[in-house]
Amino acid sequence: MTGIRPLVAGNWKMNGLGSSLAELASLRNRLEAAPVPETDIMVCPPATLLSRAREIVDGSSIMIGAQDCHPLPSGAHTGDISAEMLADAGATAVIVGHSERRTDHGESDTLVQAKALAAYRAGLMAIVCIGETEAHYRDGKTLDILRTQLEGSVPEGARATNTVIAYEPVWAIGSGLTPTPQEVAQVHGLIRTVLGQMLGDAEAGGTRILYGGSVKPSNAAELLFVPEVNGALVGGASLKAVDFYEILSVYAGTRS
């Protein structure tokens, strides 16, 4: 760790009905019974659950984030949700540029940057995702791809206080595969260097860089203490309170 307060964010993706909020309540109870000190904790449920999720975590250490936003504050965009709407529903952050958005919806770096700017406009923290495909990884293009995505996706107005970078190797998401700790350290070091060139060393030095890609209780301790890793963006393991708390507990030095 580099002295940066870590963030562990759970991305529920397109999972969760009202009954799923019992898991969020269980997570709150676990954290109240055995807090995880000096760690920021966030859950990003689907938009349909944002308001109810915010009510459940009110007064606790858990923050609520959203999974995507439209670049504009309002307008004739049926089915889309603006950053202002997310903030109004209780979100304090929003994920932008997740690989599933880039792949399923063809989102470009330019669009991701516009969404990050929308997050700033609404007073939200932007969690900007970057990551290479398996083909890029096997061809040795990981570092080039990540540099291009960073330079195209992170706005000039990015600061350590309003931006988090999440590195998620696309080939590792949901596959059970993960890069080696050495590979993760190399990639996160490059991200820090590129951010320094873009934002200046002071801002880059304080910006949290999360690792995402099949983070689970069995590998959390190995991944979260890699140099330049300042937390995690957790997928499937965040859907169950017991699993998510197990990951969080790495920072507390305890196990559930």
Contact by Cβ (8 Å): 225, 179: no
Half-sphere exposure of 172 (CA within 13 A, CB side): 24
Answer whether 217's CB lies under 8 Å from 234's CB: no
Catalytic residue of the set 23, 168, 228, 246 = 168
In the annotation, is 168 catalytic? yes
Neighbours of 163 (CB within 10 A): 24
Q: Point out the catalytic residue in the list 23, 70, 84, 98.
A: 98
DSSP-assigned letter for residue 4:
P
Token pair, residue 5, equals 């307060």
Residue identified by tokens 């990639």 is: 187
CA-nearest of 96, 18, 8 to 53 is 18
- Residues labelled as active-site residues: 98, 168
